[in-house]
Amino acid sequence: MAVYTDISETDLAAFLRDYDVGELLSYKGIAEGVENSNFLLHASSGAYILTLYEKRVNPDDLPFFLGLMQHLSDRGISCPLPVRRKDGTTIGQLAGRPAALVTFLEGMWMRRPTVEHCREVGAALAAMHLAGSDFSLRRANALSVSGWRPLWERAKPRADEVAPGFAEETEADLAFLEANWPADLPVGVIHADLFPDNVFFLGKRLSGLIDFYFACTDLLAYDVAICLNAWCFEKDNSFNLTKGRALLGGYTTVRPLSDREAGMLPVLARGSALRFMLTRLYDWLNTPEGSLVVKKDPLEYLRRMRFHRQVRSPAEYGLEPQGATA
């Protein structure tokens, strides 16, 4: 459930005077996006999403996020396109917050993704990586390996409240990942949060990617590892090899993985599982009881970490021998 700042019709009308979107017909607060307040607008020129950036988003990052959407959209990636104001900029102010208007993408996210959806998302991720290769802005990933220990130190004293032995087990994983994290893989723009709720489909066809508010400059193969965690595990935490094969097949058809990238997948996937476990654990320990926010279970990702620890080769994720690799 989204944070929700209501906006008045007069404030919204004033905000929209800086845009050429025609007459405003309706706006509804929508229950999507965890970090921001989002509204679905109907105007005479079409449908839009209005986002109010709440305090968890650093306003200094907005030019990166909005510039990236513009850049990817210009290169044929289906993603929300920031609407330019009459002065040419894309960021305004509304209800005391930075705010932006982007085009609305039709499509639905898959609560129950199939193998075909996994193949589509793999191909779209690779296309996004290629399209982002000449994006000029840079943004460090605060949630990559160097950011994990500070987050862990805050959660560790209470981690065993969630499960006995949780602290010791995670401590060992973190030490391993810090010692073995690769520094020599191809870097570029990554989405960093391409979970099913950020990918829209119309029928079996992918219709767009949304929510670039974790996007950053990091290892491209790390983004692939995030998707393996996000798309290829079943509700019982088992890994679905058929989905892994489809996702990696879709990806490598568009952008082949180098042997070094492929070889590092088990470490990257283990790190990605740790990353989502850590933010879930932090929220788990810090969300008040009785709140309507649904707490996501950090143990799901502990179980994924255990799986990745046992993986010895990228073939175990379903990576098939590729043609020409770098």
Tell which one of 14, 108, 172, 175 touches a second copy (CB under 8 A): 108
CA distance 206 to 196: 11
Binding of residue 96 to a second copy (CB under 8 A): no
- Give the chain's largest Cα–Cα span: 60
CA distance 252 to 133: 16
Q: State the nearest-atom distance from the C-beta of 99 to a second copy, in Å.
A: 17
Binding of residue 31 to a second copy (CB under 8 A): yes
Please work out, in degrees rounded to the nearest 5, the angle formed at the alpha carbon of residue 203 by the alpha carbons of 83 and 122. Answer: 75
Positions in 161-180 near a second copy (CB under 8 A): none
Nearest 10 degrees: Cα torsion 154, 157, 163, 165: 110
Span from 25-33, 52-60, 220-228, 260-268 in contact with a second copy (CB under 8 A): 25-33
Tell which one of 76, 88, 96, 288 touches a second copy (CB under 8 A): 288
Binding of residue 15 to a second copy (CB under 8 A): no
Beta bridge partners of 200: 109, 208
Nearer Cβ to a second copy (39/181) = 39
Tell which one of 88, 183, 291, 326 touches a second copy (CB under 8 A): 291
Long-range (24+ apart) CB contacts under 8 A made by 281-286 are: 281/155, 281/159, 281/162, 282/151, 282/154, 282/155, 284/162, 285/155, 285/158, 285/161, 285/162
Binding of residue 6 to a second copy (CB under 8 A): yes
Nearer Cβ to a second copy (40/299) = 40
Inter-residue contact 102 to 38 (CB < 8 Å): no
Tell which one of 87, 153, 234, 289 touches a second copy (CB under 8 A): 289
Tell which one of 18, 34, 42, 300 touches a second copy (CB under 8 A): 42
Which residues contribute to the site for a second copy (CB under 8 A)? 1-2, 4, 6, 8-10, 23-32, 40, 42, 47, 104-112, 200-202, 288-293
